[in-house]
Structure formats: structure tokens, C-alpha cells
Structure 1
Amino acid sequence: MTEILEDFQRNWPVYLSMPLIAALIGYVTKVVAIRMMFRPIEYTGIRPFPGWQGIVPRKAARMAAIACDTMTDRLISAGEVVSRLDPERVAKELERPLLAAVDEITREIAHEYEPGLWDSLPPQVRDLVVRRVQAEAPKVVKAILANIQSDVDSVFDLKGMVVTNLVRDKELLNRIFQEAGRREFQFIARSGIVFGFVIGLVQMVAWATLRSPWVMPIFGGLTGWFSDWLALKMIFQPREPKRYLGVFRWQGLFLKRRKEVAADYGELIAKEIITPHNVLEAVLRGPLADRLFAVVERQVTTALDRQTRIARPLMVLTVGSRRYQEIRHSVAEKVMRRMPETLAFIEDYAEEAMDIRNTLVQKMQELTAEEFEQLIRPAFQQDEWILITVGAVLGFAVGELQVLLVENLAH
């Protein structure tokens, strides 16, 4: 014991450096581990030699599917998104662009199929035809929207839209997990300092007692491994507040701040993923767009037949039955082509009506602790052992450097 105290007095800077360096190891290994979860976005390295791609972007499809399942199975459905749109209000919001589009489509069709007949009509008659079709347009819009709302899953794949956007934009996928777990990642990094310092104190005693060059790397590896493992546990466990040793009270950090997480998560999803623009884009250009076209064609042809009920026999006689069917199909195609620019006029109203943010926040408050945990837990669960192992390896390597430093200072 006397020998140990004498050595401590003689080399006290060396001993004091141990918990400080261990704290640094704890912090650095956490920062590196967190960064490796999200960076780099694309694979970096020269194949077939080892390289690295962030765990979340590397498993983007699976991560996106997990995030999407939580979002669409427990928080919001396609029906909820679309059912909040009022057909009357939508028709009113689209009135001006709709009238202009109908005017253009009517004149295009007339010139395309019967240019001579259309040009020979007096201007007043041509205007009357256009106005009659324009008068029918709001009814068509309301009928199309009502048809979509009655069977929204047939034309709108919400899950497909979410997954497609997240896989295509890996940076956005990263942000979902980073925003939701912002405080937790800060906690992991900072906890490394505390855990590392405490382990460093034990390391100091072990070095004084054993004086083995293996003490530093072993404790460095232990610091990296144990502090990673413990920090991850403390984020999610326990799910309910629990008192330890009769004094220390703790609840999984992520679950403890669920109100704050819900607000941030709802804001991000509403601003970046389930937006009116993305919803309309998915309906118009997604994998189910052909079904929407069938709905549009059915409503458009019904409206045309209604407007030409008296003159239809004459029109069929003039242009032919097949030609008349082609005209109806062509009108539907032109309507679909103009839909994206026309529907852009309802995005502000749609954002207000859908109220995605508040819906998500409210539904998230109703989740069980286990369901709520799944919002970011997958980001940690995927290859979690790699992160802990990396922490241990980095800690071991720094421990080896620490041995060289201590030996130089001792001499």
C-alpha cells in the first residue's frame, strides 16, 4: 500500500489523466457511434474492401417501412387524409382555374375532331357551348372527389407514398429519426463523459495495483462498450417512472418527453411527408393513377352525355359512334393532364382541412408506451451490436495510446 501511495505522489499527473482520458473516450466513442448510424448517406469505400454506409440509409427500405407502419397503422389512414376535404369547398377553390381549363379543353377538342364545323359556328354559339360545359365542371369535380372518398384505397396508396418518399430521400429519413431522438442522442454523447469518468476512477485503482499494460486498453474497451450499452438502455427503459436505491428516480428519456416528441414528429411529417402536394402527386401519378383515370373518365363522359343528350344522335351520325367514344376518352385524358396544375390551387385549403400535424400529435398521445417507443427504436435496434462493438474497439485503441502516454509521462 505504501508503495502504491508513493507511486501516486510521484506520478500523480499520470493518475489524474486516467479518468479524464476515460471520459474523453466515453464521449468520442458515442459521437462516432451516433454519426455512424446516419453517415455517410451513400456507401463510402472501395469495394470489395471494407467501407461504411450509415445504418439508417443503408437499410432505408426497411427503416422507411417500419416508420410507415407506425405512421399509417396507428396514427393516420388514407381515409382520414382525404375524407376531410369538402367537395363543395374544393369545387369553389378550383372555380377560376377550372373554368379556364374547361374553356381550353372544349376548344381543343372541337378543333381536333371537327375543326370545320367548330369554326363555322357563330362566336355566340361557341361561347354558349363552352359555358354549358363549364357549368357542368363543378359537378364533375364534386362527383370525382365523392367517388374517391367512398373508396380511397382504390386510388391512393398512402403507405406506398410514404415509403417511396423516404427511400428516395434518405436525408429526410435520417431527419425523422434525428429530430424525434434529438435529446436522446445528446444524452448518449454526454453520458459517455460521466460513465467514462467513473470507469476511469476504477481504471486508476487497477493500474496502481496491477501496473499491467493491458489495464488501459481493457478499460478503454470496457468504457466504450458499457457506456454505449447503458446509454441505450436508459433511453428506453424503464417505460414507466421507477425509483432506484430509494432515491434515484428514472424513466426512459424518450418516453418521458413524449409530448415534446409528438409535437416535433407531427410537425416534421406534416411539413415533409404527408403534405397536400405529396398526396395529390401520389393520387395523380402514383401506381394507382390508372384507376383514378377510370373514375375521371366515367364522370366526364357522364357529364358530356348529359350535356349532349338531345344532340347526341346527331353527333354520332355526324362523327360516327367510334369517333364519339374517342372524343369522350380524349376529354378525360386532357382533364387528367391539367389536373396537377389545377389542383395546386387547393393545396392551402387542403393543408388546413387535413390538419395532419394536430391529428398526428393527438394520435401519438394515445399510443401505448411500447408503440410510442417504436417511433425511433428501430434506428437503434438495427445493427445495435455494431455500434456497441465500434465503441469498444475505439475505446481499446485509445487505451493503447493511453499506455504509451502514461509510460512516457512516467519516465
Structure 2
Amino acid sequence: MIEAGIADFLANPWVYLSMPVISAIVGYGTNVVAIYMMFHPVEFLGIKVKGWPNILGWQGIIPRRAAHMAGVCVDTITTHLITQEEMFERLDTERIARELEGPLNTMVEEITDAVMLQHQPTLWESLPEVVKRRIYKRIKRDMPAVISEIMAEIKVNINRMYDLKDMVITNLTRDKALLNEIFAEVGHAEFKFIARSGIYFGGLFGVLQMGVWVFYQAWWLLPAFGLAVGYATNWIALQMIFNPKEIVRVGPFNIQGLFMKRQPEVARDFGKLVAAKVLTPANIIEGILKGPYSDKVFTTIARHAQRTIDEQTSIVKPFVTFTVGTQAYRDMKAMAVERIILQLPEALHHVEAYADEALDLESTLSTRLAGLPPHDFESMLRPAFEQDEWILIAVGALLGMLVGVFQLVVLFGDEMGIWDGGASGTAQAALVVLRGIGLG
């Protein structure tokens, strides 16, 4: 058999030499497919059957597990990089009040006029202009102090007023493409390595496959090697990305996992991306106004606003309550507060530039991430593979096996007797397998 194998190799050298090439292509192709399947499609593509898991289709691993992935991202941020307490401590309440003074002054006149004209148009129009201006002036004068008080109360009770984790998870699960972008940016070099490693390891396995096939030609050998190539290239690549975590010196070489080695670069890119698209002042403000504790925030604002209205309208309150009644006066205050809260998001846009400067999140995130110990730093990317990496490896193995079957049929089908009626016992077994998967 050995002599026959060597003779066949000498007679058909290009057929045998094509085996490492095909293995390299298989290794590269399976890895590229596996990486693509991590991110795409963003939404489930396939057939959904009510009451059944979504097994008749596919959704990218990261988008499918968006809530978990977003949770991993925010856990890294809040546990190792910055807390919401520190973020809000960096904001100067008096500076925020000054930034809001202009838009709030405009709101004072608009809201006062709207409320009075809706509830008591005759009364409001009969008031002397000097009285109206006096009311406007007193409210505007004290508005910065009220804003400072509200911000100070929110800062002191930040854990009962704001949930940073909920804000990040809400935004990233809503925008799965952004979640993909974060993991793709963090691990862009590693994903390229996984793809290229398929060529290197696939070619090496192909050389071994060729050598074994020269001396031992069993029908199952090529599918088995294809499966091994598809499995091993992904598995080895994943190990090389994250291990060893610490630098290990081997002779003149320093060995360390590829992702761990890139920590300074990853820290810079992550800090820039998260500060620009996730922990933005706009998202933080939205989290305050729409998050799980927003009712407490609005209650705080309403309490201060109502107190201010009472204080600043004291010069006309007795006249108003006498004219329209106490309940009507309360309804007017409630409407004023509702309008303040309704217009607050637009007003708060005026503090975004200052908040971005004061928080300085890009620099903070990058610097602190660069200083994380390797085990904590690994958690930035590892979850993208961890739970479902077996799927990626299994897909690679399956595709590799199918290509091995392809090699068996196309390159050595005649020799194995697959295409003629007189196939040997092992070839007949190969035929059963081929027909079983639809190729025979």
C-alpha cells in the first residue's frame, strides 16, 4: 500500500500538492464565515415558529445576545473605569445653572403666558404690564439658584435618581449595529488574525494530511482531516488571542496573547468610541429623563418648581386665589410644571458642550482601561466568544468536513471506486456517507 501511494503521488503530484492549498483555503474560509456569523445578520433572518426557539434561521451572536453583551460592556465601565457617582461629581451645579439660564428665561415668559391665557385669559390680560414684568423678573432672578438646588439634590441621591447601567443597556440593545461596532472596533486586529490564521494552520494541517494520504488512503481520512482543520484553526486562534495573559519569556522572545499585547491601542480606541457614541451627554440626559428613576427626578423638579412659583407669585397670589379659587390656582401650577418638564429636554441640550468638557470621558476611559490588570482587560472582548464560541468552532468543523468530502469525491473519486459500479467495501461505505449528506 505504501509503494502504491508513493507511486500515485509521483504520477499525480499536483493532485496531492493541492491538498495543503485547499486546506489553507478551507481554514481561511471557515474562519471568515465564523467571524461574519458573530455580527450578522443584525436582526433574526429565517422562519419564526410561535412557541419554538429560533432554530430555523440565524442572527449574529453579538446582536442576538445584545442585552448580555451590553451588560458586559457597562460592567467593565462601571466596575473598572468610572462610576456614575464620579461622573456627576465632575459637574458643577452653578455652571449648569448658568448654561441653562438663557433657555430657561425664555421658557419662563412662554409658560407663564400660556398657562394664564388658557386658564384665566381675562385676568391675565387685565394685569398691568409692570406687574407681569415684575413676576418674570423675580422668577428669572432666582431660577439659577433653583437649578443648582435641583442638581445638588440629584447628585446627593444619584443612586436613587439615575441608573447608568440601564442607560447603556437600553441604548445598545436598541442600536445593535452600534454594539457590533464596539466589539468590532475593540477586536478588529484579533478578528483579522483569526481569518489569516486559517491560512497558516490550514496549510500546515494540509501538509500533514497529504503525508498521511500518501501512506494510508481510507475513505474517511479526508473528511476527518477537513473536520479537524475547521475545528482546530478556530480553537488555536482563540487560544492565541487571549493566552498567555501575562508576558512569558521563551528564549529571546516575549510571548503574550495578541489581544493582551494591544492593551494601550484597544484602550485608546474604546475610550474614543464609547465617549463619542455611548456615554454622550445627550444619552446621559435621556437616561435621567426617561430612565427607571425618571419619576423621582420629575418629582424633585416639580417640588422645586411649585415652591418657586408660590414664592415668586406671592405678590399676586392672594388676588389670584381670591379671583379664581384655590383649586384653579393649583391646576395652573400643575400645568406650569408639566410644561417645564415637557420643554426641559430641549433646554438641557444647552449643557451638552459643557458636560462633555467637564466629564472628559474619552481620556478617563482610555487611561484607566490601559492600566487594567490582564484578567480584567480580557473581559473586554472574551465575552464576544465565550458562551457561544462552540458554535463558531462547530460551524468551522462542519464546513471543513464537507470540503474534505469534496476532496474525496473530486480528487480521488475514481481511485476509491466511488463513480464506478465496482466500489470497494470502504468506498461503498463512503458512498453511504455521501448519499446521506446529499452528495452521492
How many Å apart are 1:382 and its aligned residue? Answer: 1.9
Match of 2:16 in 1: 15
Match of 2:40 in 1: 39
Matches of 1:410 and 1:135 in 2, distance apart? 96
Are 2:330 and 1:318 aligned? no
Are 2:334 and 1:333 aligned? no
Matches of 1:250 and 1:282 in 2, distance apart? 43
Q: Would you say the 8 A contact 2:242–2:259 is kept in 1?
A: yes
Q: Would you say the 8 A contact 2:6–2:215 is kept in 1?
A: no
Secondary structure of the 1:41 match is coil
Match of 2:261 in 1: 256
Matches of 1:165 and 1:256 in 2, distance apart? 30
Where in structure 2 are the equivalents of 1:180-219 lying within 5 Å?
180-219=186-225
1:28-79 CA-to-partner distances (Å, cap 9, x unmatched) read 1100111111111122222456321111111222222222222222222222
How many Å apart are 1:248 and its aligned residue? Answer: 5.1
Matches of 1:141 and 1:336 in 2, distance apart? 13
Change (3 A) 1:199 1:146: same
1:127-173 CA-to-partner distances (Å, cap 9, x unmatched) read 22212221122122111111111111222111111111111111111
Matches of 2:28 and 2:324 in 1, distance apart? 80
Are 2:292 and 1:287 aligned? yes
1:245-290 CA-to-partner distances (Å, cap 9, x unmatched) read x455421111110111111111111111111111111111222221
Match of 2:383 in 1: 378
Are 2:282 and 1:277 aligned? yes
Q: Would you say the 8 A contact 1:105–1:335 is kept in 2?
A: yes
Q: 2:87 aligns with which of 81, 85, 95?
A: 81
Matches of 2:75 and 2:379 in 1, distance apart? 10
The letter of the residue matching 2:35 is I
Aligned residues: 410
How many Å apart are 1:409 and its aligned residue? Answer: 9.1
1:283-329 CA-to-partner distances (Å, cap 9, x unmatched) read 11222221111111121122223324455444433333333333332
Secondary structure of the 1:287 match is coil
1:375-399 CA-to-partner distances (Å, cap 9, x unmatched) read 1111101211111111111000011
**RMSD of equivalent CA atoms:** 2.0
1:181-223 CA-to-partner distances (Å, cap 9, x unmatched) read 1111001010111001111111011110012232211111111
How many Å apart are 1:362 and its aligned residue? Answer: 2.0
Matches of 2:309 and 2:127 in 1, distance apart? 19
Q: Percent identity?
A: 45
Are 2:119 and 1:113 aligned? yes
Q: 1:230 aligns with which of 236, 251, 259?
A: 236
How many Å apart are 1:9 and its aligned residue? Answer: 2.2
Matches of 2:228 and 2:184 in 1, distance apart? 27
Secondary structure of the 1:51 match is strand
The letter of the residue matching 2:41 is P
Match of 1:30 in 2: 31
Range with greater deviation from structure 2 (19-28 or 45-54):
45-54
Match of 2:350 in 1: 345
Q: 1:391 aligns with which of 391, 396, 405?
A: 396
The letter of the residue matching 2:292 is P
Match of 1:265 in 2: 270
1:329-362 CA-to-partner distances (Å, cap 9, x unmatched) read 2222111111011111111111111111111112
Change (3 A) 1:249 1:206: farther
Matches of 1:302 and 1:331 in 2, distance apart? 12
Q: Would you say the 8 A contact 1:19–1:199 is kept in 2?
A: yes
The letter of the residue matching 2:279 is I
Q: Would you say the 8 A contact 1:63–1:378 is kept in 2?
A: yes
* Structure 2 gap ranges (5+): 50-54, 417-440
Matches of 2:122 and 2:316 in 1, distance apart? 18
* Structure 1 gap ranges (5+): none
Where in structure 2 are the equivalents of 1:240-255 lying within 5 Å?
240-244=246-250, 246=251, 249-255=254-260
The letter of the residue matching 2:39 is F
Matches of 2:57 and 2:307 in 1, distance apart? 60
